[in-house]
Each structure stands twice: as C-alpha cells, then as structure tokens.
Amino acid sequence: MTAGHPSDAVPSTPDRSLNTVDALVQLSFLVQGVLTRVAAAHELSVVQVRLLGILRDRRPGMLELARHLGLDKSSMTGLVSRAEKRGLVSRVPSPHDGRGVLVSLTPAGRELTEEGGAEIERAIGELAEALTEGERAQLRALAAKLLAGGAGGASASGG
C-alpha cells in the first residue's frame, strides 16, 4: 500500500523489495514528517513553511506564489495575510503591474526562515547519514532528474 499515515510508512528495517512507487512515497512521508515537525515547532503549517521557503531568494507576485503552492487566489490571499499579520512577509506594489503586489520576507520572516531551514537541513541530513558520499551524490542526481522531468508544477523550493 502506498498511502497511509507517515509514521506507518517506513518499515523498521529496510525492505529492499520496495517498488519504485512505494519507495518514493515512503521517502516523501519521511521528508513531510520533518517539515511537519519543524513547522509545528514554529507554530506554522507546512504550507506556510513552503511559502517562506519560496520567498528565501525571490519576491514573486501572488499569481506566481499560487502556482508554486498549487493554491487558488483566495487561499493564497489568506495565506499571505496570515503570514503578514505575524510579521513574516510584506506586500509591496509591483513596479510592472499597477494592480499587482510582490511578496517578500520581512527581517523577522528571514530570521525564521533561516532558523527553520537549518533545522530542516539538519533533520534531513540525519536521514542521509547512512549513505556514503557517492550514494548521496547519486541521490541528488536522481532527485534532480526526477524534479526536472515531471514535477508538474510542484515547487522544489518548499523550504
């Protein structure tokens, strides 16, 4: 079975007979578990963590953010409004579109993003400790190939 609760997803001992779908789904559950724990520790949702991750290196408009996150306009507006109320993001008028706004991190949002990002990096790094450096390089190459080939609108910069 490829779906279930993240804590039920990974066998206690590695099962080398996993098919590709099961292996990728279970790996996804591990990563989502890390994101969920870090988000909860900072009183954020996983979608808010993804929002902050996207904003690390860009100032997108609302439409671009909605595409990255797979949200409709009203959901995107609510998400940004909640982050703005917490002082994590700000909206500025777009210089290219009089009706549009760009969203960027505030200093507090950048600090939280850096702190949370370091926690995520440590936790996911621990997952990869069992791999040799060659295996980690191979994993990065395979992940990059999968992401380039068919992420179907999903954003790799989720935080």
Dist CA 147 CA 151 (whole Å):
5
Dist CA 151 CA 66 (whole Å):
16
Run of H or E residues at 90: strand 89-93
Give per-residue pLDDT as tens, 31-60: 999 999 999 999 999 999 999 999 999 999
Half-sphere exposure of residue 86: CA atoms within 13 angstroms, side-chain side:
18
3-class secondary structure, 107: helix
Q: Say which residue the tokens 């690390």 belong to.
A: 56
pLDDT average, residue stretch 137-147? 94
Q: What fold does the segment set 20-145 form as a domain?
A: Arc Repressor Mutant, subunit A (1.10.10)
Integer-rounded Cα Rg, in Å, for the chain is: 17
What percent of the chain clears pLDDT 90, i.e. is strictly above it? 75
pLDDT at 29 > cutoff 80: yes
Beta strand ranges found along the chain (DSSP E): 89-93, 101-105
Give per-residue pLDDT as tens, 101-128: 999 999 999 999 999 999 999 999 999 9
Local confidence band at 154 (pLDDT 50, 70, 90 cut-offs)? very low
Q: Which residues pair with 104 in a beta bridge?
A: 90
Closest CA to 66 of 159, 153, 156: 153
In the prediction, which pLDDT does 159 show?
45
pLDDT average, residue stretch 82-93? 96
In the prediction, which pLDDT does 151 show?
53
